[in-house]
Each structure stands twice: as structure tokens, then as C-alpha cells.
Amino acid sequence: MNNIVVLPLIIPMFTGLLLAFFRKNIILQRTLSLASLVAVIGTTLYLVGQVRNEGIQILEIGGWQAPYGIVLVADMFSVLLVLTASVVSALCILFAFQTIGVQREQSYFYSLFQFLLTGVNGSFLTGDIFNLFVFFEVMLLASYVLLSLGGTKRQLKATIKYVVINSLSSTVFLLGVAYLYAVLGTLNMAHLSVRVAEVGQSGFLTVVAFIFMIVFSLKAALVLFFWLPESYSAPPTAIAAVFAALLTKVGIYALFRVFTLIFYHQPEITHTLLGVLAALTMILGSIGAVAYRDIYRILVYNVIIGVGFIVVGLALFTEQAAMGSLYYLLHDMVAKALLFLLGGIIITVAGSEQLKRMGGLIRHYPLLGWSFLVTLFALGGIPPLSGFPGKVLILQQGLAKGVQYAGFNWLTAFALISSLFVLFSLLKIFILAFWGETRPGSNAEIKNINGLLVPCVGLLALSIFLGVGAEILYPYVEQAGYSLLNPQLYIEAVLAR
């Protein structure tokens, strides 16, 4: 057992509780919030090294052995996601220091931010499917309040839809958990994997798999994304950036964990359906991204395209494709946070979300403009930036599987074409906002945005490192991909078999 596994959970959890007592002391809240995130980053880096050298790390809470007690599991897949989530959160909270406003800071913003990270990290590290539900709820409860914090009409409208949809999906999630326990008599994910292999993934268990697919697709915005555009465009920029970087990624993580560890015995059914959902998501997201001339709408539909692209790797169900999806997932967490922060700054300096009211911003904000250009190239998969390695691995595997199954050629084509739509939609923002003549009413007052660009430059540097330093990261991603497609490693670590 390794007690360090629990630190990415308890550090933000106790920090959130502590901050609730100092809501009027903004300086102390900022200091403790940032210190907490730095501590999580440090402990997770150490944990990454341990997993790399010693294999999967577990912690049995209270000393109760799996599968009877609660267990936390840190494999390379989960710790890389925890690390990336923590780094992105730290840079977003630096942005929030300057933009979120005193009223929200005194309304438990920093406590809620810490609880959100607790739910995210807990979802990545739990080895029990019921506790996955619990951590989902922790994350969602914090996100409900963060979304509505400030109380504008737009926020409250988005919050109502977001709460109703997620409450419904949580109910269905709990129903799926109940069915699993009724049939298999366990909720530990490693033990579930063993039980499903023993009894066979029968028709009823396949139906249960579909229940989980619907739940996690809704939370990941895989086809079922009707709740996302309003929810990600209504809150302040720092909150929207965290939502775009983390929330849908937890749903994607759950899809990967469940359909590589538990329900992997009938890929011709489950994973083929995931491929269809991924293709539909990319198609619909691409249509939305090119249809709008509202910056936030374009950005949220790019989030949807990214979800579909990542799930393509799961549908292909090979080790190399899993590696590509993980690499692209890490890239997407960083790049989407950066994209939303830059988009928020553009709206701030232009005074509008509508592209028709913008123009000529490059004259006064060159660093903002060129940072946005590099970011859109990264999201489009242009080498040597961060989107390229994962995209290449997924497309290679799609073409390889297309030799045997023609349907994968179509899936690969949709994935490739969606990248062109990403480039087109974001280039539209760059050209209309930064080039051309200054529109009447836009850019009337030159604003000092140097402080806002500091966390953006940090995320941009990280994005460039993920691309240029791909050779450094490859062994870690390779280990994660291997463990995903070899569930026996996870089972042996948890159940000591």
C-alpha cells in the first residue's frame, strides 16, 4: 500500500474546507489555493515516478482488503490525468486571481474550486465504481455552484439545464451500479473485471454496458452534448476554461476505464457503437464550429469535436490507439484551457463575443494574437505541436484496422476531416478578430492584459513541450496504453492475484 495515493484527494478537500472559514480574507484564500495546487502537483509528480519504476500503486482505505473495502488505484493512465488536471487548474486559478471579481471570491469561489478538483482527482483514482459515482457527484455539485456563481440571467438559465440533465444521468448511473451489484455481487472494478470474465458478457450484461455508455457519453458530451454550449459559455472565463479542460475529460476517462477493464469482451458490439458515436460527435461538432460567429460558441463546439476524436482511439481498441487517445487527451486538457482563456481575453479587449464587431486587434495585442495562432495550430494537429503525436497514432491505427474492416476507414476519414474543421473555425476567429480594419466601437480603449497573458504563456509553453518533448513523454504514455489494453495488470495489482 502507498499512502501517497490519497494525497491528490485530501489536499484539495481539506484546503476547500479550511478556505470556507476565511471567505473575507481574499489574500489568504489566494495563497492557500495556489499552495494547495502546487502541493498536489508535487505529490503527483512523485507518484508518477513511483508508478513508472514500481508499477501500479494502490491504497486500501482503513486497511480493508479489496474487493471488500474502498481502494484507490494509481496506474499510469490515471496519474498522468491527475497531474495534467492539477497543472491546468493551477494556471487557471492564477488567471482567476485577476478576473473573477471580489464578490465571487467572497462567495466561496476558492473552496468550490478545490472541491471540484477533489471530485476530478477522485474520479481518476478510485478503484470502485460506486465511488466513481460519488466523486462524480462531488465534482458536479461544485460545478453547479461555480456555474451559477454571480447570479446573472444567462448563468441561471444554463445552470437549470445543466443540473436537470446531470441529475437525470446520475440517476441512470446509480441504476447501472445497482444492476451490476445485483448480477455480480461486487463493485470493485478489478473484481468486476474478473466476474464478467467468469460469467461471460451475456446479453443482460451487454445491456448494462449500454447503460454505462449512455451515462458516460452524456457526461463526456459524446453525441449527447445539448447541455454543453450554454453551460460552458455562461460562466466567467476562468471557470469556463476549467470546465472545458476537465469536466468532459472525466466522462472520457470513465468510458476508457469501464470499456477496457470491465466490458471489453464484445468489442464488435460495444466498441463499434462507440465508433459510431464518435463519428456523429465529430460531424455535429464540426457543423456547429463553422456555423457560428460567436467566439464562445465556436470554442465549445471545438470541445465537442475533441471528445469525438479521443473516443476514436477507444473504438479502435488497440494499444497504439489507446496511447494516441491518452496523448491527445493530455494535449486537449491543456489546449482547451488555453483556448478558453485566450478567447476570454479577446472578448474582454474587443468588448463583444460577436466576430462581426471585432477587427484589427493584432495592432495593439500582438502577443495575444500569435498565442492564439499557435494554439489553433496545436489543436489542428500541426507538427511539432502537442496535437500532432496523438493524432498521428490514432490515424495510423485507423488506417491499419481499415484494411480488415472498411468501416474504420470511414471513421478515420471523419477524424481527419474534423481536424480541418477545427483549423477552419479557429482561423475564422483569428482572421476576423485580429486582422482587417478596426471596427467602430471595438478596441476603443487599449487595455493592459500583460498579467492575464502570464498563465496563458505557461499553458502555451506546456502545449509546445507536449509536442517537442514527445520522445520524453512517450515511455510514460506507452506504459499507460499497455496497462489499459492488458487489464490483468490492474487486476493483479488490486486483488494481489
Low pLDDT (below 70) residues in the chain: 439-444, 497
Beta carbons of 240 and 233 less than 8 angstroms apart: yes
Beta carbons of 459 and 341 less than 8 angstroms apart: yes
* Domain boundaries along the sequence of the chain: 3-489
* Confidence at residue 487, expressed as pLDDT on a 0 to 100 scale: 95
- DSSP-derived letter for residue 3 is G
Q: Which residues contact 476 (CB under 8 A, 6 or more apart)?
A: 48, 52, 76, 80
* Confidence at residue 404, expressed as pLDDT on a 0 to 100 scale: 87
Q: CA 328, 334, 337, 341 torsion: positive or negative?
A: negative
Q: Which residues of 381-420 are buried (b: 16+ CB within 10 A; e: fewer)?
A: bbeebbbbbbbbbbbbbbeebbeeeeebeebbebbbebbe
Cα angle 101, 95, 465 (rounded to 5 degrees) comes to 170
* Confidence at residue 66, expressed as pLDDT on a 0 to 100 scale: 85
Q: For residues 304 and 480, what is the distance between their CA atoms, to the nearest angstrom?
A: 24
Residue 49 burial by Cβ neighbours in a 10 Å radius (0-12, 13-18, 19+): exposed
Beta carbons of 166 and 246 less than 8 angstroms apart: no
* Confidence at residue 63, expressed as pLDDT on a 0 to 100 scale: 81
DSSP string for residues in 445-496: S----HHHHHHHHHHHHHHHHHHHTHHHHHHHHHHHHHHHS-HHHHHHHHH-
pLDDT, tens digit, 9 for 90 and up, residues 435-464: 877 765 555 578 899 999 999 999 999 999
* Confidence at residue 439, expressed as pLDDT on a 0 to 100 scale: 62
* Confidence at residue 67, expressed as pLDDT on a 0 to 100 scale: 86
- DSSP-derived letter for residue 57 is E
* Confidence at residue 440, expressed as pLDDT on a 0 to 100 scale: 53
* Confidence at residue 68, expressed as pLDDT on a 0 to 100 scale: 86
C-alpha cell at 210: 449500454
